[in-house]
Amino acid sequence: MPEKSLYEKSLDLFPPVALRATQLGVVKGEGAYVWDEEGKKYLDFASGVAVVNCGHNHPYVVQKAKEQMDQLIHGGHNVVYYASYIKLAEKILGHVGSNYKIYFSNSGAEANEAAIKLAKQVTHRPGIISFKRSFHGRTLATTTLTASNAKYRRNYEGLLPSVYYAEYPYATRTGLTEEQEVSRCLAQLEEIFHDLIEPEQVACMIMEPIQGEGGYVVPPKAFLQAIRKICDEHGILLIFDEVQTGFGRTGKIFAYENFDVKPDIMSLAKAIANGFPLSAMVAKRELMDKWPAGTHGGTFGGNPVACAAGVAVFELLEGGLVDHAAEVGSYFKQKLLELAEQHDEVLEVRGLGLMIGIEFVDQNGKPDGEIVSAIRAKALKKGLILLNCGVNHNVIRFIPPLIVTKEQIDDAFAIFSESMEESLTDATQKVN
Ligand code: PMP
């Protein structure tokens, strides 16, 4: 009997909830590529969901992590200090601003937990405003904050109290102008404040500066600026969840830089250490200084090896990687825009830097998740890994490593457009 594949073995070992988005078993990664068990090479335009921004096994990140491993693997978050922990804090705060402090943990959800705990701790207010189509994690509290798919909450109801959901602009869907869409969303927020919770009872608003799982939805600058103003007027803390958008993904180190709006608190994870489990919550100094010792913590947060990798990531980002991402991102987006012009099934191509989404609809203009599944399956067979997003699963997201070259983008584009043409032809044949 031939040996079972990694996927086949997984079926026996893991619950359905732990199964992956593809059946691909990989044995090696390098730059924008991974190799499967048969030695077949794939272009990875999913990057482990925006994690390996510097590319798989970037030699500089590997070298710095190895050097740290030879020195010290674990320090103990609650026990001792070590140099990589300090250095990464200095790097990130050096960029965000000296009026901020940082707290390290292990995952995006944990960073968001820290963010809302801090907000409650310092404001003494109960309420939280989150946004529709948001995704903030899978712990019980972050499941409460997440409002993009009822399946995330199924059988977990009875979640965190006093969380309310505000509208996040999506003019492409509502058909309104950008200005009207912003007004619509702000009016609904006013309604929440009037009908459900007074703003002076709200500790924080938590939002993704560009929605990730919700469909790569880029809000108008005016919306984020209006939210900033409302928060300031009522003493509400503004939290940006930059877990998916951070570390060069949008052509800036952090996505907020695209909107000229700075949050009071920010959560970071995914690409922070190019694949090592690490996350951080950054917040204004005056807030952090009010967070008493012993009221939050964890064993592994700020692991020495992960922090050493994080320092290497930051050096690479500052050393030209972010500018490269912005440049090749607009090259890629332009190609997709030109392709979209020829197809009514493409509702929109959108995104910033190398965080690009393409949204599909059917002949009646309804979200078409089936076509997205078909395109992804065909692309995978041809050697391109793609992920979907969007509350109707009808958006393909392109999140290659930021080191991706124009030639690799051309290769991926060729596979994608071929897979798309074939899938659209198959769909038409099915209808007829
Ligand atoms: N916030 C956002 C915006 C995310 O995209 C994700 C993960 N997709 C999370 C939080 C949760 O991060 P983690 O899976 O590391 O807990």
In SS3 terms, 297-335 reads as CCCCCCCHHHHHHHHHHHHHHHHHHHHHHHHHHHHHHHH
Q: Whose CA is nearest to atom 13 of ligand 1?
A: 108
Tell whether ligand 1 has an atom less than 6 A from the beta carbon of residue 208.
yes
Tell whether ligand 1 has an atom less than 6 A from the beta carbon of residue 243.
yes
> What pTM was computed for the model?
0.97
Q: Which atom of ligand 1 is found nearest the CA of 110?
A: 16
CATH of domain 6-57+319-431: 3.90.1150.10
Find the largest Cα–Cα distance for the chain.
69
Q: CA-CA distance, 239 to 11, in Å (whole number)?
A: 38
Tell me the two tokens of residue 197.
């919770």
Give domain 59-316's CATH number out of 3.40.50.12280, 2.40.50.140, 3.40.640.10, 3.30.2320.50.
Answer: 3.40.640.10
Q: What is the pLDDT of residue 2?
A: 77
Q: In angstroms, what is the span from residue 166 Cα to ligand 1's centroid?
A: 19
| Most ligand 1 atoms within 8 A of CB, residue of 47, 51, 136, 249 to mutate | 136
Q: What is the DSSP string of 206-229?
A: EE-SSBTTTT-BPPPHHHHHHHHH
Q: In angstroms, what is the span from residue 137 Cα to ligand 1's centroid?
A: 5
Q: In angstroms, what is the span from residue 329 Cα to ligand 1's centroid?
A: 22
Q: In angstroms, what is the span from residue 243 Cα to ligand 1's centroid?
A: 6
| Most ligand 1 atoms within 8 A of CB, residue of 135, 138, 256 to mutate | 135
Listed residue (364, 371, 366, 355) closest to 419, CA to CA: 371
Q: Are 210 and 176 in contact (CB under 8 A)?
A: no
Q: What is the pLDDT of residue 377?
A: 98
Q: Are 25 and 36 in contact (CB under 8 A)?
A: yes
Q: Whose CA is nearest to atom 12 of ligand 1?
A: 108
| Most ligand 1 atoms within 8 A of CB, residue of 51, 244, 256, 272 to mutate | 244
What is the interface pTM, i.e. ipTM, of the complex? 0.99
Tell whether ligand 1 has an atom less than 6 A from the beta carbon of residue 199.
no
Q: Whose CA is nearest to atom 5 of ligand 1?
A: 244
Q: What is the pLDDT of residue 428?
A: 87
Tell whether ligand 1 has an atom less than 6 A from the beta carbon of residue 135.
yes
Q: What is the pLDDT of residue 92?
A: 98
Q: Are 307 and 278 in contact (CB under 8 A)?
A: yes
Q: CA-CA distance, 249 to 208, in Å (whole number)?
A: 13
Q: CA-CA distance, 374 to 342, in Å (whole number)?
A: 19
Q: Are 402 and 47 in contact (CB under 8 A)?
A: no
Q: What is the pLDDT of residue 68?
A: 98
Q: In angstroms, what is the span from residue 399 Cα to ligand 1's centroid?
A: 15
pLDDT tens, per residue, the chain with 432 residues:
778 999 999 999 999 999 988 999 999 999 999 999 999 999 999 999 999 999 999 999 999 999 999 999 998 777 899 999 999 999 999 999 999 999 999 999 999 999 999 999 999 999 999 999 999 999 999 999 999 889 999 999 999 999 999 999 999 999 999 999 999 999 999 999 999 999 999 999 999 999 999 999 999 999 999 999 999 999 999 999 999 999 999 999 999 999 999 999 999 999 999 999 999 999 999 999 999 999 999 999 999 999 999 999 999 999 999 999 999 999 999 999 999 999 999 999 999 999 999 999 999 999 999 999 999 999 999 999 999 999 999 999 999 999 999 999 999 999 999 999 999 999 988 877
- Give domain limits for the chain: 6-57+319-431, 59-316
Q: What is the pLDDT of residue 330?
A: 98
